[in-house]
Amino acid sequence: MAADIVDLIGQFVQLKKAGRNYVGLCPFHGEKDPSFSVNQERQTFHCFGCKRGGDIFSFWMEYHNISFMEAMNDLADRYNIQISGGCNPEIARKAKDRRKSLYMLNQHAMEYFQGVLQDSVKGKPARKYLEKRLLSRDIIDRFCLGYASDQWEGLTQHLRRRGEDLDLASEAGLIVPKKNRSFYDRFRKRLIFPIFDYRAQVIGFGGRVLDKSKPKYINTPESPIFHKGESLYGLQTSIEAIRAKGSAIIVEGYMDCLALKKNAMEEVVATLGTALTTDHIRRLKGYVKEVIVIFDSDQAGQAAVVRSLPLFSNEALEARMVVLPEGHDPDSFINTYGMGQFSNLLQTAVPILDFFLELKLKEQETDEGKIFVMNEILKVFSEIRNLPLRSLYVRRLADKIGIREDIVLSELSKITSKRSFKPYADMTKSPVPVKAEINVSDLQLLSLLVNYTSAVPQLVDIDCQPLLTSTVAIEIVNSIFEVYLKFGEVAYSELEDVLKTDAAREQLREIQHRPFVVYSQEDVKQAIMECKEKINHKKLLASLKKAKGDIQAQNWLVKDYKKKDCEI
Ligand SMILES: [Zn+2]
């Protein structure tokens, strides 16, 4: 299979065909209206909002936050292509092999844990526990649940017998090294939840105790293939339902996720017992219009709401909140009250801002208390980079506590100035370069040369520079001709390499994805002619200026111009 950019990005961003391009919501910055564009013909993407763009590799690097080499390996794997050139092939091969080995090791470990769970003696306590939690065999199989018994070296010995590389297993976080070059199992006496990535490869594990001992959960530590703050449990089985519904439910833990799954609620994912991160939200926002977040009613759950408000606002994703009655998590709630009551509860989900204000303002009777809480709230607001949304929030807050909006605003600006806050500052990794003024005639010529390559041979012989004003346009046009003269055609992959400045590359993508003028076949001919005319005219004017006073020379110039004009 060849790597197609629409096919690939389409798995992460909902794309709609719009003219020559596909458009969708940018996965790299918060937005409500699509400014993210993918061009199949050129195999490029470009965001008109945050200006990120490039080819299939740039997308993969940016989306998964990985190096170019990793992106190459990933995509080579995915599309079965041989990597050549670029980086040191020996290093690339080793890195690829190592990642592959880590996935394989996790796969073996998962099978081992599954085997222990089904073992008539060793697996008994875990099977009893699962029965108590009303998890059926069907769910156990579907999510590949397993069990780590109380042995210190169960998995270690299993891997050793198989002849696996134990150092690598330790890197995968499966076993822990001891002093004397030996190892012991990380997960003991725990129910095992394998965690999968979007390709359904096992990247890590969560382990839960069966009794009240602490810690209740442990996870695989960070490894080259496992990043806790980016992973969502259950995503590989939920993505179809999430896509179809256009919404997702986020819960806190493995058990909560499975409790909903077993009740045929499929559009659910869980964070791995961590707070929500921007990466989590970005994983989902390509598919959904809103998410419903279900938090426990405890202190930690409430703190999580506070932290997630700016994240949702910055990603421009609507979020509603559900809080469960005290002492309940989704699993215990459903097991006690049934799915019908749970669905009713979902109906009562409130927008995250209302929820947050309610949470903070309740029980604040005194004026001093209100002012104190207002400052707490404004601290959270100050993290919101979406300024229009932030000002709406301020108005709501002012209404709620009965303080004039301008006073609330001035309090907010005290906080933001203390932080020397720059709106949108960290939304783009590299600052958007300052563009030299690009004008209409620049854009017309760029549209023509970039999108209608048949025009290039006809214009290559004449010097187009007099028609252009901006340095960026001049750089692009010169590069197009340079590539054409060198290769006999304009390959855009070559073109990106020839361009020297980011501004030019960005402008090139922009004109590819949103041509300033769209020409028909006939229009192209016309445009080429007009272009030649304009250049001759400009040249004439320049020459006439030079020949000032020399009537004979001026006459000759005009004659020559008319002759050329007739030729055109
Ligand atoms: Zn963007």
Average pLDDT over residues 29-38: 87
How is residue 460 written in tokens?
């290559």
Dist. CA 382 → ligand 1 center (Å): 22
Dist. CA 426 → ligand 1 center (Å): 12
What CA–CA distance (Å, rounded) separates 273 from 15?
Answer: 31
Range among 60-74, 78-92, 343-357, 499-513 with highest mean pLDDT value: 343-357
Dist. CA 30 → ligand 1 center (Å): 7
What confidence category does residue 347 fall into, taking pLDDT thresholds of 50, 70 and 90?
very high
Dist. CA 387 → ligand 1 center (Å): 17
Dist. CA 140 → ligand 1 center (Å): 40
Residue 361 burial (C-beta neighbours within 10 Å; 0-12, 13-18, 19+): middle
Confidence at residue 176, expressed as pLDDT on a 0 to 100 scale? 94
Dist. CA 319 → ligand 1 center (Å): 20
Dist. CA 428 → ligand 1 center (Å): 9
If we measure between CA atoms, which residue out of 324, 359, 326 comes closest to residue 344? 324
Q: Does residue 93 carry a pLDDT above 70?
A: no
Dist. CA 386 → ligand 1 center (Å): 14
Dist. CA 290 → ligand 1 center (Å): 19
Confidence at residue 435, expressed as pLDDT on a 0 to 100 scale? 45
Dist. CA 317 → ligand 1 center (Å): 14
What CA–CA distance (Å, rounded) separates 227 from 242?
Answer: 22
Dist. CA 29 → ligand 1 center (Å): 5
Confidence at residue 565, expressed as pLDDT on a 0 to 100 scale? 67
What percent of the chain has pLDDT above 70?
92
Dist. CA 332 → ligand 1 center (Å): 40
Dist. CA 527 → ligand 1 center (Å): 32
Dist. CA 3 → ligand 1 center (Å): 22
Higher pLDDT, 417 or 128: 128
Dist. CA 452 → ligand 1 center (Å): 26
Out of 300-304, 457-461, 478-482, which region has the weakest mean confidence (pLDDT)? 300-304
Contact status, residue 43 vs residue 4, Cβ threshold 8 Å: yes
The single-letter code of the amino acid at 304 is A
List, in sequence order, every beta strand (DSSP E) within 141-232.
146-148, 175-177, 183-185, 190-196, 202-209, 217-219
Confidence at residue 420, expressed as pLDDT on a 0 to 100 scale? 46
How is residue 27 written in tokens?
């996965």
SS3 of residue 333 by DSSP = helix
| Residue 517: other Cβ atoms inside 10 A | 16
Dist. CA 26 → ligand 1 center (Å): 5
How is residue 228 written in tokens?
């806790």
Residue 195 burial (C-beta neighbours within 10 Å; 0-12, 13-18, 19+): buried
Dist. CA 278 → ligand 1 center (Å): 14
Q: Does residue 507 carry a pLDDT above 60?
A: yes
Q: Does residue 265 carry a pLDDT above 90?
A: yes
Taking only the tens place, the pLDDT of each residue in 357-412 is 888 888 777 888 888 889 889 988 988 887 888 889 999 999 988 889 999 999 99
Confidence at residue 46, expressed as pLDDT on a 0 to 100 scale? 93
The single-letter code of the amino acid at 22 is Y
Confidence at residue 436, expressed as pLDDT on a 0 to 100 scale? 56
What confidence category does residue 422 fall into, taking pLDDT thresholds of 50, 70 and 90?
very low
**Largest CA-CA distance found in the chain, in angstroms, rounded:** 110
Dist. CA 201 → ligand 1 center (Å): 28
Direct distance between the N- and C-terminal alpha carbons of the chain, in angstroms, rounded to an integer: 47
Sign of CA dihedral 79, 80, 83, 88: positive
Tally of residues, the chain: 568
What CA–CA distance (Å, rounded) separates 183 from 50?
Answer: 47
Dist. CA 498 → ligand 1 center (Å): 25
What CA–CA distance (Å, rounded) separates 105 from 111?
Answer: 10
Kindly report the average pLDDT of the chain as a whole number.
85
Average pLDDT over residues 174-202: 91
Average pLDDT over residues 282-290: 83
Distant-in-sequence, close-in-space partners of 329: CB < 8 Å, separation ≥ 6: 252, 253, 255, 256, 296
Dist. CA 65 → ligand 1 center (Å): 15
Q: Does residue 532 carry a pLDDT above 50?
A: yes
Dist. CA 439 → ligand 1 center (Å): 24
If we measure between CA atoms, which residue out of 235, 218, 253 comes closest to residue 328? 253
Higher pLDDT, 384 or 3: 384
Confidence at residue 395, expressed as pLDDT on a 0 to 100 scale? 93
Dist. CA 177 → ligand 1 center (Å): 43
Question: Phi and psi at residue 149, in whole multiples of 5°?
Answer: -75, -175
Confidence at residue 319, expressed as pLDDT on a 0 to 100 scale? 94
Confidence at residue 566, expressed as pLDDT on a 0 to 100 scale? 65
Dist. CA 49 → ligand 1 center (Å): 5
> How many helices and strands, by DSSP H and E, does the chain display?
25, 16
Dist. CA 24 → ligand 1 center (Å): 10
